[in-house]
Amino acid sequence: MAEWIKSIAPYLYTYRAKFFAACSATFQMFYKAGLIAFVIGLCFGILLVITKKGGIRQNAVIYQVTNLVINVFRSIPFIILLIFLIPLTRAVVGTAINVKGAILPLVFGTVPFYSRQVEVALSGVEEGKIEAARSMGSGTLGLIFRVYLHEALPDLIRVTTVTAISLIGLTTMAGAVGAGGIGSFAINYGQNQNHSDIVNVCVIVLLAVTFVLQSIGNSLSKRTTNRSLFQVRRGNGGTEI
């Protein structure tokens, strides 16, 4: 195996330790920023849907402010955002470099996009279902959890997949703040030193990750259409939300 790799990608083999470190850095940025962005984006998406005109908790002020903030951050290119946020990152996490310093900008780069996607997914839930649930006495939380999130689950999985893939893309830029990762490895050890095998392998790794994410997303989304994700059989009683 090692011999084989050595023969087709000699420089990668030489820098294999750096390569694994790069993969690990990308992975850490991905899951840490991803988890945080997932939670925050979901909350913002829900907030947008319930506060918009005709929403279940219509509130023009909250909606407009959230909307504006999202639009502003969405229109800043990530590489600029990365630099722009350095002071804030330093204030919040103590450092603006390394993986640690990249998480916050990644979250800022992902949340606006994800919130919009969540908003669109939730808006796909028919008005009539909300109306029926209200007629059965569901309050705001009940409507969010038992109707919006429940009915939109396949779409939510779809948009989460898209966002996850775009997040992988963003992590490759995080090298700009010295966070390492596959992107900066490909530039520093591949492109800059003219080692094309390193660039090629980085491309293949990213493609593979994208492919795997997309497949998982597709399959989950398909399986949850008309089905419960975690089949809780026969009503799980009692809890009033």
What does the binding site for other proteins look like in residue numbers (CB under 8 A)? Answer: 126, 128-129, 131-140, 146-147, 150-151, 153-154, 224-228, 234-240
Give min distance, CB of 34 to other proteins, in A.
Answer: 25
Least distance CB 144 / other proteins (angstroms): 14
Specify the residue for token string 């800059």.
Answer: 192
Shortest distance in whole angstroms from residue 75 CB to other proteins: 28
CB nearer to other proteins: pick between 32 and 129: 129
CB of 29 to other proteins, least distance (A): 33
Pick 192 or 226: Cβ nearer other proteins: 226
Rounded CA gap, 44 and 150, in Å? Answer: 17
Cα dist. 77→59, 81, 84 in Å? 30, 6, 10
Q: For residue 22, give both structure tokens.
A: 């790069």
CA distance linking residue 13 with residue 195, whole number of Å:
11
Mark 117-155 as b/e (b = at least 16 C-beta within 10 Å). Answer: bbbebbbebeeeebeebeeeebeeebbbeebbbbbbbbb
* Six token digits for residue 115: 């919130």
User: Shortest distance, CB of residue 94 to other proteins, whole angstroms?
Assistant: 43
Cβ nearer to other proteins, comparing 94 with 237: 237
Identify which of residues 87 and 126 has a Cβ nearer to other proteins in the complex.
Answer: 126
Alpha carbons within 13 angstroms on the beta-carbon side of residue 140 total 9
Contact 28, 99 (CB under 8 A): yes
If the CB atoms of residues 147 and 199 are measured against other proteins, the closer one turns out to be 147
